[in-house]
Amino acid sequence: MSAEIRAWFEDYERKLRAEERTEGRREGRREGHKEGRAEEAARAVLTALRVRGIAVPDVARERILAEKDPETLERWLERAIVAASLAEVLDGLS
């Protein structure tokens, strides 16, 4: 392999690695943003329950904070605004 071809190939590989790192950073930011939004939504559910005077045991608080599905969190928030009890908010709470 000639020195010119080798130099071109090494430059090409360097650019590929740089693009992969850039894409990895983008993916990391997207994932972090998604996690941040889920945490914010979970805290909104807890706030609505607190303002309404509904007690939230530690196990339920952990369940709310662990939830990452935005649709579930939105449904819980809507329920928390009008519910009379925690059981009316969370799916499958006995």
- Residue 92, pLDDT score: 58
Is 80 part of a structural domain of the chain?
Answer: yes
- Residue 94, pLDDT score: 43
Is 94 part of a structural domain of the chain?
Answer: no
- Residue 93, pLDDT score: 53
- Residue 41, pLDDT score: 96
Domain that holds residue 36: 3-88
CA angle centred on 78, ends 76 and 84, rounded to 5°? 80
Domain count, the chain: 1
pTM of the model: 0.68
Q: Which stretches of the chain score pLDDT less than 50?
A: 94
- Residue 21, pLDDT score: 83
Q: Which residues, other chains included, contact 90 with Cβ-Cβ below 8 Å and sequence gap of 6+?
A: 60, 63, 64, 76
